Amino acid sequence: MVKQASSPSSPVTITVSSGGKGGPIRSMGLTSPVPRASVSNNPNSPLSGRGNRGSSGGRRTSAGGRYDEEVVNSEYVTYTVHIPPTPDHNTVSASQTSLNEDDKNFGKPESSFISGTIFTGGFNSVTRGHVMECSMERKETMKSGMQCGMKGCDEKAMQGKSSRGPCECGFKICRECYLDCIGNGGGHCPGCKEPYKDVSDDDGSSYDDACSEAEDQALPLPSMADFKLDKRLSLVKSFKAPNQDFDHTRWLYETKGTYGYGNAVWPKDEYGFGAGVNDFEHPPDFGGKTRRPLTRKVGVSAAILSPYRLLVVIRLVALGFFLTWRIRNPNREAMWLWGMSVTCELWFALSWLLDQLPKLCPVNRVTDLSVLKDRFESPNLRNPKGRSDLPGMDVFVSTADPEKEPPLVTANTILSILAVDYPVEKVACYLSDDGGSLLTFEALAETASFARTWVPFCRKHGIEPRNPEAYFGQKRDFLKNKVRLDFVRERRRVKREYDEFKVRINSLPESIRRRSDAYNAHEELRAKKKQMEMGGNLSEHIKVPKATWMADGSHWPGTWSSAETDHSRGDHAGIIQAMLAPPNAEPVFGAEADGENLIDSTEVDTRLPMLVYVSREKRPGYDHNKKAGAMNALVRTSAIMSNGPFILNLDCDHYIYNSLALREGMCFMLDRGGDRICYVQFPQRFEGIDPNDRYANHNTVFFDVSMRALDGLQGPMYVGTGCVFRRTALYGFSPPRATEHHGWFGRRKMKLFLRKPKVVKKEEGEMALPIIDHNDDDADIESLLLPKRFGNSNSLAASIPVAEFQGRLLQDLQGKGHHGRPAGSLAVPREPLDAATVAEAISVISCFYEDKTEWGKRVGWIYGSVTEDVVTGYRMHNRGWRSIYCVTKRDAFRGTAPINLTDRLHQVLRWATGSVEIFFSRNNALFASRRMKFLQRVAYFNVGMYPFTSLFLIVYCFLPAVSLFTGQFIVQTLNVTFLVFLLMITLTLCFLAILEIKWSGINLHEWWRNEQFWLIGGTSAHPAAVMQGLLKVIAGVDISFTLTSKSATPDDGEDEFADLYLVKWSFLMVPPITIMMINMIAIAVGVSRTMYSTFPQWSKLVGGVFFSFWVLCHLYPFAKGLMGRRGKVPTIVFVWSGLISIIVSLLWVYISPPSGRQDYMKFRFP
């Protein structure tokens, strides 16, 4: 034992010991003994007080040092604070060596015995509770609380209205001793030596009156200065003068007392004493940060939503009256025209109703990231080091063709993921290369190398966004809010390194080609040499496969540039390569800047998340199911290698724009009720769009209006990227709780608890999640069925309950009877990656693994549709899950969109074809279960219905031209009733658009662009989608689509929007061009006919021209796209277009001249 010097003014001696067993001091185990716990050594502090109460009575005393043997090791050094002898605390006699012997003779000690416990602990030491022996006689100390405290007296103590006795110190005394003290002792209490209150000389026995008066007055609070003499709070001295009223306020001022510690007032020095009257601060938050919600739902203002709903009703009523009037008042002169127009108008009314009903309940949501940090990343008894208790996150990035999806774009996406603000050890990134390209493989290796510089730079300086191409390409001041002096120097170095990185990525195709040519030439020479050695004919040509070679001189196992057997896009082996191994659990700090390190990372965690390259096996004769199959392969691979309970999927061109995006999504998953959420969908935001957004690429009406409205129902649809999934939901399991909707419009609800199979009967095909419960026979049966559903991988089947447990809510957030996980259960290091794990992962990406399983049918991404994203989300909602729409203040993700007209039309064609497939499949919302809300079912039904609106839209776009050609109109006369209804429908539509703009945050320009492209797509891509869908359903013709090209970053001097003006001919352009030409010609013909008519019918002309102009206004962006680059269209094109229109109109008038003007229309040669 080593004694340390103590201050002369301090009566406390600190002794440091290595064991803690010697001497008369005995260790007591705390309720939650954790190394390095920050428990105060001061017994008067609130933390020590709680520790005392937790170990009252000595019940947790560790006999024989058992606690020391379990917890203490060589790295801990304990110290004990010995308090010197005082009148109230004498030294322990040598004879008192065993508490057990005293306990046998005198029974259990009183609770006051624990007030002598000193809790010791601190940095690098074990928290202990040391019981100090008291030098008072054991018989006196162990006296019954009802006996007199005077020596030699065993009489019963006095009792009155107060249990404290006649004195405020609580000293027990019998009536006889009390009278003796008053008579012979000067009226002073034997315990505290203070005079008794209100003692009368003649009687002195008015004990009841004294007790009553003591209860009426406020009890005095001790001065903090006095606690320096008695730190065990054994006695409370009275400050009341005899026969005087106690002034509480004056006492607080004069003695600089304090109210103590609580949520009313809190001293600045926290656990110290002697704080002045004004030395207080706001009390700590005792409300329990773990109980505060992580998210809030913010409803749309009633001042906007109520008129919006009222206008919907008004417009619906107006449409009803208008259609009724149209049906009852046919145009007898042109019944065919009237019939077509009424049919189209009825369908448009139905389509508008299906689109409008799900928009009645929009909501907004906000998150509180500070609560997430306090709950899952703050030190506590279960997690003393403050390791992150957040669940793991596996990030999927998919790519298929390095030519259409440039490797540099994919590399920037990977870099933004590796630098995300989420616990490094909890993130794993998987890149799915469905093309099996060596270019993508080596680009990913270069990315992993550059990440060692880029990620620490982002963490040190708080870089946003963490995509280097987007960050260095910003046109704003990059010095804003930067205070570190080394930022400019390090940014310049990283920028130069990134430029070199870009050059290396761009040179990879040529480097791979040259390397492969050199190796192939060497192989040809070896083959010829071998032929010569074997005496073969030198003139005979030797076929040597043109292989693609890796940098280490071995064949690339994936796709070769010249397709060969086992090395083509549809025929190659499965590949898994961990570019970055799983990081350590503890932070790893870097070194100072030198020749190898570009930045000073001594204060930065330089660990990187795990990065894995995956290319699934492909063989002829197997259906690989495009992107959905690649995603399912990643699900199985990640389950074996990292098994994160949550999955984020991104397209290769969608990068993380907000480094806190993952935390935003986890707030919803981990909040109360989050166990029912299957996924959190983020809105898609795009870069590189032309300022006018000619083809509505931003699609804000869908992402900010429709998706927000669906969030108020059962949740938004899954749109293919930017979505955080719950792994167990992807596995096809049902939620823990669901609600069935019965009756008209689902107004009668019935709650189901699907994790209790013994109580609720499961529906046919229901998959119950195997809860970890050894006494549940049903869970065992479900576990036996896992191989049949998920394949024959035992590791994959074993990972399912682990992922379910890690994705649970904390126990204090779960209600009674629900399953939860203990706090701190995920603050453990990840298991290292070994060869056996990678071998198992290789087996689950084989081409035949999914045979005779439920992958693609119920498990994972669903097969059978080109829009697998919508179908996958629909299946989850149909099981009773709900989803969340997370709109962050700073965009969570950003990507690119095709700004070329042809590419945009083909993208819309793919979406519409998928919708037609959904309509003719079992995924039609008409067959949805009762667990889906009525309005949610309407929204999904509209997804399958909207392409069919194009058939009626094309007809309606030709009707104005037909009306102008024939001189007829959809109504017989433009009477007041028709005009009033038309005006009312138009005005309500405008007002609804204004209110949608108000509650969604979009602007009028974006709304109008959406209306324009609705007609462009409805007359081009949607009819083609209907035809293709019908061919697939009726004739079984398979539908194939080309991958949408991702635009690379333009070089300096290049036009950023060059693709916008590029004209690529497509058959989809024929219907819109035809509609435009016919309507322009019809306007000319109609005007000419009316002007030359004997009885001109101006009302019909105005009606036809108005609707034709409406069609042309919507098709204006399409016409502008056909013109190509601005200023590049020769003027002669417009001249010839005008002349052709005039000539055609004159010919039409000549062929069908107006009555009464034939003489003027005859053409005669001079």
Residue 258: per-residue pLDDT: 60
The pLDDT, as a whole number, for residue 1151 is: 65
Q: In this predicted structure, what is the pLDDT of residue 357? A: 93
- What DSSP string describes 472-529? HT--S-TTTT---TTHHHHHHHHHHHHHHHHHHHHHHHHHHHHHHHHHHHHHHHHHHH
Distances in whole angstroms, Cα of residue 632 to Cα of each of 805, 915, 1042: 21, 22, 21
Q: Which of 820, 887, 510, 831 is nearest to 683 (CA)?
A: 887
How far apart CA 1025 and CA 1071 sit, in angstroms, is 13
Question: What is the pLDDT at residue 783?
Answer: 63
Reduce the DSSP state of residue 31 to 3 states and report it: coil
Q: How far, in Å, CA of 870 to CA of 174, rounded?
A: 84
The pLDDT, as a whole number, for residue 266 is 62
Give the Cα separation of 761 and 881 in Å (integer): 18
Q: Pull the structure tokens for residue 1012.
A: 């324009």
Cα–Cα dist 105/566, whole Å: 88
Q: Would you say 461 and 700 are in contact if contact means Cβ atoms under 8 Å apart?
A: no
Residues noted as catalytic: 434, 869
| Secondary structure (3-state) at 686 | strand
DSSP state of 266: E
The beta strands (E) that lie in 727-793 are given as 737-742, 748-753
Q: Is the dihedral of CA 5, 10, 11, 15 positive or negative?
A: negative
Q: Residues for the chain: how many in total?
A: 1166
pLDDT of residue 1126: 53
Mean pLDDT by 10 residues, the chain (1166 residues): 41 40 37 35 38 38 39 40 44 40 41 37 42 40 62 71 64 80 73 67 43 40 38 39 57 60 60 48 56 86 92 94 92 88 94 93 92 87 83 94 91 96 95 93 94 94 92 85 84 94 94 93 87 76 85 90 87 92 89 82 92 93 90 95 94 94 95 92 92 89 93 93 95 88 76 59 54 48 73 90 91 64 83 86 92 91 91 94 94 90 90 92 91 93 94 92 85 84 91 91 90 92 91 77 64 66 83 90 83 72 85 90 63 60 64 53 42
- What's residue 25's pLDDT? 38
Q: Dump pLDDT digits (tens) for 69-87.
A: 333 343 334 444 444 444 4
Kindly report each contact of residues 57-63 with a partner whose C-beta sits within 8 Å and lies 24 or more positions away, as own/partner: 57/108, 57/109, 57/111, 57/114, 58/28, 58/99, 58/108, 58/109, 58/113, 58/114, 58/131, 60/28, 60/29, 60/30, 60/31, 61/26, 61/28, 61/29, 61/131, 62/27, 62/28, 62/29
Helix axes 949-966, 1070-1091, angle to 10 degrees: 20
| Residue 1024 pLDDT | 93
Strand partners, 365: 297
Distance separating alpha carbons of residues 547 and 567, to the nearest angstrom: 9
Tokens 């300096």 -> residue = 1052
Pairing of strands 393-399, 427-433: parallel
pLDDT for 1152 equals 64
3-state secondary structure of 81: strand
